[in-house]
Protein backbone atom coordinates (compact mmCIF):
# COMPACT_ATOMS: atom_id res chain seq x y z
CA UNK A 1 0.00 0.00 0.00
CA UNK A 2 1.32 3.44 -0.94
CA UNK A 3 2.23 5.76 1.92
CA UNK A 4 0.82 9.30 1.88
CA UNK A 5 1.99 12.37 3.75
CA UNK A 6 -0.79 14.49 5.26
CA UNK A 7 -0.47 18.08 6.45
CA UNK A 8 -2.71 18.75 9.45
CA UNK A 9 -3.91 22.31 10.06
CA UNK A 10 -5.35 23.19 13.47
CA UNK A 11 -7.58 26.26 13.44
CA UNK A 12 -7.26 27.04 17.14
CA UNK A 13 -4.22 28.73 18.65
CA UNK A 14 -5.19 28.20 22.30
CA UNK A 15 -2.62 26.43 24.47
CA UNK A 16 -5.27 24.00 25.75
CA UNK A 17 -7.03 23.72 22.38
CA UNK A 18 -9.57 20.92 22.08
CA UNK A 19 -8.87 20.98 18.34
CA UNK A 20 -5.16 20.30 18.83
CA UNK A 21 -6.01 17.43 21.19
CA UNK A 22 -8.34 15.91 18.60
CA UNK A 23 -5.71 16.45 15.89
CA UNK A 24 -3.22 14.47 17.97
CA UNK A 25 -5.84 11.76 18.52
CA UNK A 26 -6.42 11.56 14.75
CA UNK A 27 -2.68 11.25 14.16
CA UNK A 28 -2.56 8.38 16.66
CA UNK A 29 -5.55 6.63 15.09
CA UNK A 30 -4.40 6.96 11.48
CA UNK A 31 -3.63 3.84 9.44
CA UNK A 32 0.06 3.05 9.06
CA UNK A 33 0.11 4.21 5.43
CA UNK A 34 -0.69 7.80 6.47
CA UNK A 35 2.11 9.97 7.84
CA UNK A 36 0.53 13.01 9.45
CA UNK A 37 2.28 16.18 10.58
CA UNK A 38 0.81 19.31 12.12
CA UNK A 39 1.81 22.38 10.11
CA UNK A 40 1.78 25.47 12.29
CA UNK A 41 -0.12 28.49 10.99
CA UNK A 42 -0.19 30.90 13.94
CA UNK A 43 2.83 32.94 12.92
CA UNK A 44 1.91 33.52 9.27
CA UNK A 45 1.70 37.25 8.50
CA UNK A 46 -1.71 38.31 7.19
CA UNK A 47 -2.00 37.91 3.45
CA UNK A 48 -1.38 41.07 1.43
CA UNK A 49 -1.18 40.63 -2.35
CA UNK A 50 1.18 43.60 -2.67
CA UNK A 51 4.05 41.54 -1.26
CA UNK A 52 3.62 38.85 -3.92
CA UNK A 53 3.29 41.43 -6.70
CA UNK A 54 6.45 43.20 -5.52
CA UNK A 55 8.31 39.87 -5.52
CA UNK A 56 9.03 40.13 -1.82
CA UNK A 57 6.72 37.76 0.08
CA UNK A 58 7.52 37.34 3.78
CA UNK A 59 9.92 34.45 4.45
CA UNK A 60 7.19 32.75 6.54
CA UNK A 61 4.89 32.63 3.48
CA UNK A 62 7.58 31.11 1.31
CA UNK A 63 8.50 28.50 3.95
CA UNK A 64 4.82 27.64 4.45
CA UNK A 65 4.15 27.30 0.72
CA UNK A 66 7.23 25.14 0.21
CA UNK A 67 6.31 22.90 3.13
CA UNK A 68 2.67 22.39 2.11
CA UNK A 69 3.62 21.75 -1.50
CA UNK A 70 5.49 18.62 -0.34
CA UNK A 71 2.43 16.92 1.19
CA UNK A 72 0.11 14.52 -0.61
CA UNK A 73 -3.07 15.46 1.28
CA UNK A 74 -4.49 17.88 3.83
CA UNK A 75 -6.59 17.55 6.98
CA UNK A 76 -8.26 20.52 8.65
CA UNK A 77 -9.28 20.41 12.32
CA UNK A 78 -11.20 23.54 13.16
CA UNK A 79 -13.31 25.20 15.82
CA UNK A 80 -16.23 27.40 14.90
CA UNK A 81 -15.92 31.15 15.42
CA UNK A 82 -19.10 33.10 14.68
CA UNK A 83 -20.46 30.33 12.42
CA UNK A 84 -17.28 30.33 10.35
CA UNK A 85 -13.62 29.33 10.45
CA UNK A 86 -11.06 31.18 12.55
CA UNK A 87 -9.17 33.97 10.81
CA UNK A 88 -5.85 32.16 11.27
CA UNK A 89 -7.08 29.21 9.20
CA UNK A 90 -8.57 31.41 6.48
CA UNK A 91 -5.29 33.32 6.32
CA UNK A 92 -3.35 30.06 5.83
CA UNK A 93 -5.68 29.14 2.97
CA UNK A 94 -5.13 32.56 1.39
CA UNK A 95 -1.34 32.47 1.79
CA UNK A 96 -1.19 29.00 0.24
CA UNK A 97 -3.47 29.89 -2.66
CA UNK A 98 -1.31 32.72 -3.98
CA UNK A 99 0.21 34.03 -6.12
CA UNK A 100 -2.59 33.27 -8.56
CA UNK A 101 -1.91 30.10 -10.51
CA UNK A 102 0.60 28.76 -7.98
CA UNK A 103 -1.71 27.39 -5.29
CA UNK A 104 -0.18 24.75 -3.03
CA UNK A 105 -3.65 23.29 -2.42
CA UNK A 106 -4.75 22.29 -5.90
CA UNK A 107 -5.51 18.60 -6.29
CA UNK A 108 -4.59 17.55 -2.75
CA UNK A 109 -7.28 15.29 -1.26
CA UNK A 110 -8.62 16.71 1.99
CA UNK A 111 -10.91 16.22 4.93
CA UNK A 112 -12.50 18.44 7.57
CA UNK A 113 -13.11 17.73 11.24
CA UNK A 114 -14.84 20.43 13.28
CA UNK A 115 -14.58 20.38 17.05
CA UNK A 116 -16.66 22.26 19.59
CA UNK A 117 -17.71 22.12 23.22
CA UNK A 118 -21.20 22.94 21.90
CA UNK A 119 -23.83 20.48 20.76
CA UNK A 120 -23.65 21.07 17.01
CA UNK A 121 -19.94 20.34 16.77
CA UNK A 122 -18.89 23.28 14.61
CA UNK A 123 -21.32 22.49 11.79
CA UNK A 124 -21.19 26.05 10.44
CA UNK A 125 -17.39 26.20 10.34
CA UNK A 126 -17.20 22.75 8.75
CA UNK A 127 -19.46 23.73 5.87
CA UNK A 128 -18.06 27.22 5.46
CA UNK A 129 -14.56 25.75 5.17
CA UNK A 130 -15.81 23.26 2.58
CA UNK A 131 -16.95 26.19 0.40
CA UNK A 132 -13.38 27.49 0.26
CA UNK A 133 -11.96 24.01 -0.35
CA UNK A 134 -14.16 23.57 -3.43
CA UNK A 135 -12.71 26.73 -4.95
CA UNK A 136 -9.16 25.71 -3.97
CA UNK A 137 -9.55 22.41 -5.88
CA UNK A 138 -9.21 20.24 -2.78
CA UNK A 139 -11.35 17.13 -3.35
CA UNK A 140 -12.88 16.81 0.11
CA UNK A 141 -14.07 13.64 1.83
CA UNK A 142 -17.88 13.72 1.90
CA UNK A 143 -18.67 10.83 4.25
CA UNK A 144 -18.40 10.30 7.09
CA UNK A 145 -18.87 13.88 8.17
CA UNK A 146 -17.03 14.73 11.39
CA UNK A 147 -18.67 17.20 13.74
CA UNK A 148 -17.22 16.56 17.19
CA UNK A 149 -19.62 18.21 19.66
CA UNK A 150 -19.42 18.12 23.44
CA UNK A 151 -15.68 17.60 23.11
CA UNK A 152 -14.89 18.39 26.75
CA UNK A 153 -16.77 15.25 27.77
CA UNK A 154 -14.86 13.10 25.25
CA UNK A 155 -11.40 13.72 26.69
CA UNK A 156 -9.76 12.59 29.92
CA UNK A 157 -7.70 14.80 32.25
CA UNK A 158 -4.62 14.26 30.06
CA UNK A 159 -6.46 15.39 26.91
CA UNK A 160 -6.69 11.87 25.47
CA UNK A 161 -9.84 10.31 24.04
CA UNK A 162 -11.85 8.80 26.88
CA UNK A 163 -14.77 7.24 25.01
CA UNK A 164 -14.46 4.01 23.03
CA UNK A 165 -17.26 5.02 20.65
CA UNK A 166 -15.38 8.24 19.81
CA UNK A 167 -12.16 6.30 19.18
CA UNK A 168 -14.09 3.89 16.96
CA UNK A 169 -15.70 6.72 14.98
CA UNK A 170 -12.45 8.63 14.52
CA UNK A 171 -10.56 5.44 13.57
CA UNK A 172 -13.20 4.74 10.94
CA UNK A 173 -12.98 8.33 9.74
CA UNK A 174 -9.21 8.00 9.28
CA UNK A 175 -9.62 4.69 7.42
CA UNK A 176 -12.08 6.34 5.04
CA UNK A 177 -9.77 9.31 4.65
CA UNK A 178 -6.88 6.98 3.73
CA UNK A 179 -9.09 5.35 1.08
CA UNK A 180 -10.17 8.81 -0.16
CA UNK A 181 -6.54 9.88 -0.52
CA UNK A 182 -5.69 6.72 -2.43
CA UNK A 183 -8.62 7.23 -4.79
CA UNK A 184 -8.03 10.97 -5.36
CA UNK A 185 -4.30 11.41 -5.13
CA UNK A 186 -2.73 12.96 -8.22
CA UNK A 187 0.53 11.56 -9.53
Report H helices in 38-149: 49-53, 59-69, 87-97, 123-135
Backbone angles phi, psi at 85, to 5 degrees: -90, 155
- pLDDT tens, residue by residue, 103-112: 999 999 999 9
- What pTM value is reported for the model? 0.96
CA–CA distances in Å: residue 37 to residues 67, 106, 129: 11, 19, 20
Amino acid 2: pLDDT:
87
pLDDT in tens, 13-32: 999 999 999 999 999 999 99
pLDDT of residue 17: 95
For the cut 90, the answer to whether the pLDDT of residue 37 exceeds it is: yes
CA 1/CA 3 separation, integer angstroms: 6
Strand (E) positions, the chain?
Answer: 4-10, 34-38, 73-78, 110-115, 146-148
pLDDT digit string, tens, across residues 131-151:
999 999 999 999 999 999 999
Whole-number pLDDT of residue 185:
86
Fold classified for 4-184: Rossmann fold (3.40.50)
Residue 184 pLDDT > 70: yes
The 10s digit of each residue's pLDDT in 171-180 is 999 999 999 9
Q: How far, in Å, CA of 168 to CA of 133, rounded?
A: 27
Sequence spans of domains, the chain: 4-184
Amino acid sequence: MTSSSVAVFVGSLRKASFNRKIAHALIGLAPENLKLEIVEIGDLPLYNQDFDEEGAPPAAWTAFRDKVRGFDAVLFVTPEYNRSVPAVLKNALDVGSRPYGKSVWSGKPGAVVSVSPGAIGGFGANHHLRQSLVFLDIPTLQQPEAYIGGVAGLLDDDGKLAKDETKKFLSGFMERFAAWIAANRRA
